[in-house]
Amino acid sequence: MLPQTLPAVLGRYRLVELLGVGGMGAVYRAEQSGPLGFKAEVALKLVDPELAQKNPDLLLALADEAQLLSRVRHPNIVALSSFEEIEHPTLGNVPALILEYVPGETLDQVRRGPDGTPVALPPAAAGAVLRDSLAALDHAHQALDGQGRPLGLVHRDLKPGNVMIDRLGAVRLLDFGIAWSVDRLVQTGPNMTKGTLPYMSPEQLIGSALDGRSDLFVLGVIAFELLCGRGYVERPQGPRDLVRVARLLVEAKWADRQIELEQALQGEDLRRVVGLVAWVGRLLQRDCADRPKTARDALSTLDSLGLDYEAGRRWLSDRIAAREEEIELDGPAPRPGEPGARDDRPSPPQQAQLGPSIGREEPPELAKRQLLRARPPRPPAEPVATRPFPAPSPTPGAQAPATHGGTSGEASPTAPPTPARRPAGDASAVMLLDRSVLDDLMRGGGAATVGHSADDAATEEDGHEDRS
């Protein structure tokens, strides 16, 4: 069992903070120690040993993610440090994915207003996120294997919860756990398709062969949401709602969405609005042949619109600093499913009021930001006795403690003793859908049948949902 009380020691790593949990295992912020007093902060992704005994493919899925990350080194992709087997006296060799720890927030958290509902971002801030995401996708889509052959890599799980924004406003794409490539050890079954509604392309929904243009469609969905402050389509309210939402996604008409986007961008430079609307519209074409051919082509067109990326990154940086100050003063917000957690359903469009306007700065906001950036570091916490890993087993007859997520890929309804530092607002889960369901979708049928496999399991990495 994975540790439920922290800190805990696993080899040369001291697990100090639970970042996220799910059906496969958990991700921790950890302190790595080495010779001569060396210490480093990392993110440690672990598979639950009990689940791995029942399904050995979970370990292969973790190895797949490690192999892919080793081939996509890029400033806008979370970096792999190592993939290790850590010796443990009772658990044996524990596979662990050691990742770059990125202080910041997910895009899903950044885009939420004070009441927890999504709001529209200024175009410059949205543009900065989209620009960095496209740069990461361009690199990933061109990745090669060890013999120099194209991997055909497709992320397959782009969504706001898998886009990390650091404290300088730069993006890291997270979670290549269900990414498709030609050399995966664990492949999706021939009659299945995988992804997270509503962040799936039409061809992904119907189980067709995928290339990078599938990721571009999903980035178009994200672009629409960032600029409009509302969902492209509704989110499913449970497994039985999947087919209805999938149908909405497949049947969505760009002409209707175009009007919404134009209305949301009222007041912006007219020529830029026309360019942005046309750019998003190309990404959201149902036929992948009508989309940009590559992420680089989409990035070139976005660059031509003249968005001030640096101003956008400053806005994002200020937003994260302000939110971290709120968390520091008020404590962490409740996790999804806990009392007081906010609803994740889409809301009507709202104008972003999250900080100073792009290109203009009010004196009180300037003073606040200077204060935030100049504040001294927090004093170190009082020493805490390190507990062994894993957590002690319950006494006979006692109620077993809640695990970090069930086989459904969702977190356990009972929160662990050490909650994640920040809530993951994007609570949507990766689903494995039988193609018979998708055939039913095309015919206008009823409820969905949902399955789960090794690389469906959900964890959260630094506040984001990670599907490994």
Q: What is the pLDDT of residues 358-384, one digit of tens each?
A: 433 333 444 444 444 444 444 443 333
- Positive or negative, the Cα torsion across 209, 213, 214, 215? positive
Q: How confident is the model at residue 325 (pLDDT cuts 50, 70, 90)?
A: confident
Q: How many helices (H) and strands (E) does the chain have?
A: 13, 14
Asked if pLDDT for residue 291 goes beyond 60, the answer is: yes
Q: Please report whether residue 61 resides in a domain.
A: no
Where is average pLDDT lowest: 110-124, 142-156, 254-268, 446-460?
A: 446-460
The CA–CA distances, whole Å, from 438 to 83, 208, 285 equal 36, 11, 20
What pLDDT does 186 receive? 66
CATH number of residue 264's parent domain: 1.10.510.10
What pLDDT does 225 receive? 96
**Which has more pLDDT, 24 or 152?**
152
What amino acid positions are annotated as catalytic residues? 157
Mean of pLDDT values over 260-264: 94
DSSP state of 163: E
Q: How confident is the model at residue 414 (pLDDT cuts 50, 70, 90)?
A: very low
Q: Please report whether residue 83 resides in a domain.
A: no
Number of domains in the chain: 1
Tokens of 164: 């990390």
Q: How confident is the model at residue 25 (pLDDT cuts 50, 70, 90)?
A: confident
State the chain's mean pLDDT as an integer: 76
Q: How confident is the model at residue 29 (pLDDT cuts 50, 70, 90)?
A: very high
Q: Please report whether residue 111 resides in a domain.
A: yes
Contact present, 156 and 180 (Cβ < 8 Å): yes
Q: Which domain holds residue 278?
A: 105-333+342-356
**Which has more pLDDT, 305 or 415?**
305
Q: How confident is the model at residue 106 (pLDDT cuts 50, 70, 90)?
A: very high
Q: Please report whether residue 396 resides in a domain.
A: no
Q: Please report whether residue 379 resides in a domain.
A: no
What pLDDT does 465 receive? 38
Give the list of residues 6+ apart from residue 465 with CB closer than 8 angstroms, or none: 20, 22, 159, 161, 162, 175, 424, 426, 427, 428, 429, 458, 459
Mean of pLDDT values over 33-37: 89
**Which has more pLDDT, 204 or 417?**
204
Q: Please report whether residue 29 resides in a domain.
A: no
**Which has more pLDDT, 192 or 240?**
240
Where is average pLDDT lowest: 73-87, 271-285, 326-340?
A: 326-340
Mean of pLDDT values over 63-74: 92
Q: Please report whether residue 451 resides in a domain.
A: no
DSSP state of 455: G
Q: How far apart are CA 429 and CA 24, in angstroms?
A: 12
Where is average pLDDT lowest: 129-133, 228-232, 453-457?
A: 453-457
Asked if pLDDT for residue 23 goes beyond 50, the answer is: yes
Task: Quote the pTM value.
Answer: 0.74
What pLDDT does 55 receive? 84
What pLDDT does 275 receive? 96
Q: Please report whether residue 429 resides in a domain.
A: no
Asked if pLDDT for residue 459 goes beyond 60, the answer is: no
Q: How confident is the model at residue 458 (pLDDT cuts 50, 70, 90)?
A: very low
Residue 381: Cβ-neighbour burial (10 angstroms; 0-12, 13-18, 19+): exposed
What pLDDT does 367 receive? 42
Edge-first strand listing for the sheet containing 39-47: 8-10, 13-21, 25-33, 39-47, 92-100, 80-88
pLDDT in tens, 142-152: 999 988 999 99
